[in-house]
Amino acid sequence: MNVNYRADIDGLRAVAVLAVLFFHTDIPGFSGGFVGVDIFFVISGFLITSIILKELQENKFSIARFYERRIRRIFPALFPMIVLSSIAGLYLFDPSGCRELGSSITSTTLFYSNIFFMLKSGYFEPQSLQRPLLHTWSLAVEEQFYIFFPLAMIIASRYFKKQYFPLLLITALISLLVSIYGLSHHPGATFYLVPTRAWELLAGSILALGVLPTPSSYWLQNILSLTGLGFIFYSITFYTSTTPFPGLNALAPVLGASFIIWSNPNERKTIVSTLLSLKPIVFIGLISYSLYLWHWPIVAFTKYITFRPLEGYQKLFIIVASVALATLSWWYVERPFRIKQKVVLERKRIFAISAIIMAAFSGFGLIIQLMTTDKNAYNYTAQLPENFNNLSVAPTLGAKNVTPSFALWGDSHARSFIPALEEECKKYTLSGVILTHDSAPPLLGIDVKTLPDNTYNTLDKAQYNKGVLDYLKQHPEIKTIILASRWAAYSTGSSYKEEDYLVYSLKDTYREYNGKQLNSILFKTGLSRTVNALIAMDRKVIIVGDVPEIGYNVPRYSLIQKKLPFAVKGVDIRPSIAEYNQRNREVQETLNELAKHKNVTVIHTESKMFDEHGMGKIAFQGELLYSDDDHLSTFGSLYVASSFDKVFKDMKNK
């Protein structure tokens, strides 16, 4: 197997890393630049398989030597980036962000950050700005893959007569099929996990086998390589953060990279190979690993402190700073450790030092987690299980040894009112049950899907709400039902400001309407069904008008105001009452109509959240009212508690 150096592959690395860099810096024309990671996967599979095959053929392959090379390649540049990112994060982040930073340090160090970030939120969500180690998910995928791959190659060599091709091809096809299936059913896991990404690395591995004949004619080689380049630039240009990915859409960058590698033999360079072999492009390829490592923390921290779209000079700063740091890292860190003659360490010592470093950094991350507390967060996570057949006792709040007389039904916004309801329960010696679930508004017969896909889409919201209603039917002692939710998001179909790329799609499972209907119509229909069903059960219905969405993380804004005031000079994240009314116009119309019924009361908690100038409040007497961009903090919930006074007084007097 010929594993001679190919400059065009370094050039292909440059294309991959620049695509990712320009995507993250919001350069026009690079909306799909995230596919650069997929190109890296193909290159990695090709190069490492080429080395393994050569050593197997020469009976020189050693697992220990393989992992020594991985350590020399990965560790030296990775851990300085973690150190500086940790310092910046601990200074800039709120307690919640610091705690998550600690977790991400540990998961990155132990190479399971893909699993950690999968459990947090989507790759493209605004929370990523508070995750300077988010990009290490791809390193975790590779390292997890390379735990098993060398062993599989050894087994194939010794026990399957070196029949690598059918084994790798079958595994790659299974992985691709799992990726296609998973994209519709488990999009978060499909994006982050090895089983749905392995086929991309295996595409490069199959090329390394040399079983695919090199295109015989020069013009065919050029057509293939140009087609490959076209596939790559198509995906970079036309894909967006809403493009379902990976699955079938990942075929374009993977095939593109594969075509370029396959069709460019050393003997005669194609047009694409010649272009990719230009010295400036090759140089970017040489520093691509360090550039990938350093660019994202710079992007994340820059966006984190600005609260506005990146200006041209900020984009230029990010690009220049990233390239400068990457060059220094490559020259003074990467190269010395990769060249054994410059950093002479015995293999046993390398493994010992690596183990010590991993233990120290993972322990450091754990200490950060344990030492960080967040007084602004609301720590009420109680929610019903999805399977109501196994439900025996719903979570409760309020006075102990008192039969629940009310229920709180809604999503995470409903749950953020729990401190307020606890305060009222204490005042009036009442108790209630919590019937809430994330991203599940109390709209009967309405299912909600979030685009791009996220983990909340695994719950059938319509079925969930049917279960809540059935539970209430079984408990007639619960006389009052408090409905609360992030109404405006479901009515308008969109989230707000910084996270406005999210789309909420409503579907009527009762099939009352033909064809797709506006969110506002389905919102009104679903809420009306809920209210009417509860009234038919002779229940008192309390609908809570939602507090203003801020659209930007309030604790983050508060911290930047204190620590880097120049970054937010002239930036006011507070919404005006006019903005609130505009966004909630259809919600208010629906609530006003429902309030005409004698058994329905609307509570306007939002009335307490605007000052005398009609601007939204984000703090009161130095305490933050929000835990993020739209949920009340514990203090904020207590701040609006008096809005529930009359309701609880009426419940007590009945």
Q: What is the pLDDT of residues 279-320, one digit of tens each?
A: 999 999 999 999 999 999 999 999 999 888 899 999 999 999
Confidence label for 229 from pLDDT (cuts 50, 70 and 90): very high
Of the candidates 397, 401, 410, the one whose C-alpha atom is nearest the C-alpha of residue 443 is 410
Q: Does residue 362 share a domain with residue 456?
A: no
Report the domain count for the chain: 2
Greatest CA span in the chain, whole angstroms? 91
Q: Does residue 424 share a domain with residue 359?
A: no
Cα distances (angstroms) measured from residue 390 to each of 293, 303, 395, 471 = 46, 45, 14, 12
State the pLDDT at residue 388: 45
Q: Does residue 468 share a domain with residue 365?
A: no
Q: Tell me the average pLDDT of the chain.
A: 91
Confidence label for 207 from pLDDT (cuts 50, 70 and 90): very high
| Cα separation, 79 vs 71, whole angstroms | 11
Of the candidates 22, 16, 18, 13, the one whose C-alpha atom is nearest the C-alpha of residue 35 is 16
Assess if residue 165 is contained within a domain. Answer: yes
The yes-or-no verdict on residue 374 having pLDDT over 70 is no
Structure tokens at 72: 């020399």
The pLDDT > 90 percentage for the chain reads 75
- Residue ending a domain, among 371, 398, 416, is 371
Q: Does residue 394 share a domain with residue 347?
A: no
Helix (H) / strand (E) element for 171: namely helix 164-185
Per-residue pLDDT, averaged over 133-162, amounts to 93
DSSP states of 37-78: HHHHHHHHHHHHHHHHHHHHHTT---HHHHHHHHHHHHHHHH
| Cα separation, 83 vs 585, whole angstroms | 48
**3 state SS of 420:** helix
The pLDDT > 70 percentage for the chain reads 93
Peptide bond into 452 cis (omega under 30): yes
Q: Does residue 172 share a domain with residue 307?
A: yes
Per-residue pLDDT, averaged over 327-344, amounts to 82
Assess if residue 98 is contained within a domain. Answer: yes
Per-residue pLDDT, averaged over 140-146, amounts to 96
The yes-or-no verdict on residue 127 having pLDDT over 80 is no
State the pLDDT at residue 1: 40
CATH code for the domain of 536: 3.40.50.1110
Per-residue pLDDT, averaged over 12-31, amounts to 97
The yes-or-no verdict on residue 390 having pLDDT over 50 is no
The yes-or-no verdict on residue 148 having pLDDT over 90 is yes
The yes-or-no verdict on residue 386 having pLDDT over 60 is no
State the pLDDT at residue 454: 61
Flag the least confident range among 310-324, 500-514, 594-608: 500-514
Q: Does residue 552 share a domain with residue 475?
A: yes
State the pLDDT at residue 368: 94
Range of the domain at 291: 7-371
Per-residue pLDDT, averaged over 71-88, amounts to 96
- pTM (2 d.p.): 0.86
Q: Which long-range contacts (CB under 8 A, 24 or more apart) does 28-34 make?
A: 29/236, 29/237, 30/236, 30/237, 31/237, 31/238, 31/239, 31/240, 31/241, 32/235, 32/236, 32/237, 32/238, 32/239, 32/240, 32/243, 33/236, 34/123, 34/239, 34/241, 34/245
State the pLDDT at residue 514: 76
State the pLDDT at residue 125: 74
Q: Which residue has the higher pLDDT, 377 or 549?
A: 549
504 HSE (CA, 13 A, CB side): 26
Q: Does residue 629 share a domain with residue 491?
A: yes
| Cα separation, 150 vs 364, whole angstroms | 31
Assess if residue 381 is contained within a domain. Answer: no
Q: Does residue 141 share a domain with residue 79?
A: yes
| Cα separation, 19 vs 272, whole angstroms | 17
Confidence label for 382 from pLDDT (cuts 50, 70 and 90): very low
Per-residue pLDDT, averaged over 113-128, amounts to 82
- Residue ending a domain, among 338, 371, 404, is 371
State the pLDDT at residue 254: 98
Assess if residue 426 is contained within a domain. Answer: yes
The yes-or-no verdict on residue 612 having pLDDT over 90 is yes
| Cα separation, 135 vs 583, whole angstroms | 34
Confidence label for 394 from pLDDT (cuts 50, 70 and 90): confident
State the pLDDT at residue 343: 63
Q: Does residue 519 share a domain with residue 404?
A: yes
Flag the least confident range among 241-250, 331-340, 604-613: 331-340
Per-residue pLDDT, averaged over 88-108, amounts to 93
Per-residue pLDDT, averaged over 219-229, amounts to 94
| Cα separation, 626 vs 120, whole angstroms | 20
Confidence label for 376 from pLDDT (cuts 50, 70 and 90): low
State the pLDDT at residue 504: 87
The yes-or-no verdict on residue 215 having pLDDT over 90 is no
| pLDDT tens track for 548-558 | 999 999 999 99
Assess if residue 380 is contained within a domain. Answer: no
| pLDDT tens track for 638-653 | 999 999 999 999 998 8
Assess if residue 583 is contained within a domain. Answer: yes
Count of Cβ atoms closer than 10 Å to residue 355 Cβ: 10
Q: Does residue 420 share a domain with residue 362?
A: no
Assess if residue 246 is contained within a domain. Answer: yes
Q: Does residue 392 share a domain with residue 365?
A: no
Structure tokens at 394: 């719903």
Assess if residue 437 is contained within a domain. Answer: yes
Helix (H) / strand (E) element for 157: namely helix 137-159
Q: Does residue 343 share a domain with residue 488?
A: no
Per-residue pLDDT, averaged over 110-135, amounts to 86
- Residue ending a domain, among 371, 402, 431, is 371
The yes-or-no verdict on residue 391 having pLDDT over 50 is no
